[in-house]
């Protein structure tokens, strides 16, 4: 986890969650396995906040092992206040289906913060498929029926970071779920699941 990504996640917490430190929050970190750091320390310092890491394999900072990245049977609909993910979406082959799961799991009024590179070198883990721009992230939120709160890219190199941090030019999506996940959403999601199996 590079320093500039950690700083962007801290900025999300300060801007959107700092006023909620006295509120119980369920926070899910998607792609949480600790590989050169994790976001856990940013969110686990509040006694009313429950941080849980989710990933595809067991490992450090993984509380929930997802058996399928596109069908999170282990996590109930409308159950998370905040979903975060950083430096994972570029490794997800069908990220738009994962985004539907994020929308399903978020509570109405819940927020997601996704950070992924717009540049940088290939780094397979085990695959490296995508790079993201603000318009792409906004379209992804729209596809999942989430409202875009903020979508941006760190286009310029910043003096506080070295080349290893600046090369990624991370994009950030912050989106909100405005309504509960219902029957029509479940049907749509099931159709997508079936089409993936064809």
CATH code for the structural domain at 3-197:
3.40.50.150
**Domain parsing of the chain, residue ranges:** 3-197
Within its chain, how far is the Cα of 122 from the centroid? 20
Residue 132: is its pLDDT beyond 70? yes
Average pLDDT over residues 172-193: 78
Tell me how far apart the alpha carbons of residues 174 and 111 are, in angstroms, rounded to a whole number.
7
Q: Is 92 helix (H, G, I), strand (E, B) or coil?
A: coil
- Mean pLDDT, rounded, for 9-38: 96
Whether 35 shows a pLDDT value over 90: the answer reads: no
**Tens of pLDDT along 68-103?**
989 999 999 999 999 999 999 999 999 999 999 999
Q: What is the mean pLDDT of residues 113-133?
A: 96
> Residues 155, 156, 161, 167: what is their CA dihedral angle, to the nearest 10 degrees?
60
pTM > 0.85: yes
Q: Which residues contact 198 (CB under 8 A, 6 or more apart)?
A: none
How far is it, in rounded angstroms, from Cα 114 to Cα 174? 7
pLDDT higher than threshold 80 for residue 62 = yes
**Quick one: pLDDT at residue 77?**
96
Digit-coded pLDDT (tens) for 136-166: 999 999 999 999 999 999 999 999 999 999 9
């Amino acid at each position: 986890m590079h320093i500039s990504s950690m700083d962007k996640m801290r900025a999300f917490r300060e801007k959107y969650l700092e006023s909620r430190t006295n509120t119980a929050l369920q926070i899910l970190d998607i792609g949480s396995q600790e590989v050169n750091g994790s976001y856990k320390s940013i969110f686990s310092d509040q006694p009313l906040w429950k941080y849980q890491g989710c990933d595809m394999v067991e490992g450090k900072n993984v509380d929930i092992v997802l058996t399928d990245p596109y069908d999170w049977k282990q996590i109930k609909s409308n159950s998370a206040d905040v979903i975060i993910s950083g430096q994972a979406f570029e490794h997800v082959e069908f990220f738009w289906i994962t985004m539907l799961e994020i929308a399903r799991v978020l509570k109405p009024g819940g927020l997601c913060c996704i950070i992924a590179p717009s540049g940088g070198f290939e780094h397979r883990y085990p695959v490296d498929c995508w790079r993201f721009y603000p318009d792409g992230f906004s379209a992804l939120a729209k596809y999942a029926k989430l409202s875009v709160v903020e979508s941006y890219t760190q286009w310029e190199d910043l003096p506080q970071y070295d080349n290893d941090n600046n090369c990624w030019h991370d994009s950030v999506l912050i989106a909100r779920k405005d309504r509960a996940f219902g029957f029509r959403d479940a049907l749509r999601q099931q159709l997508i699941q079936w089409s993936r199996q064809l």
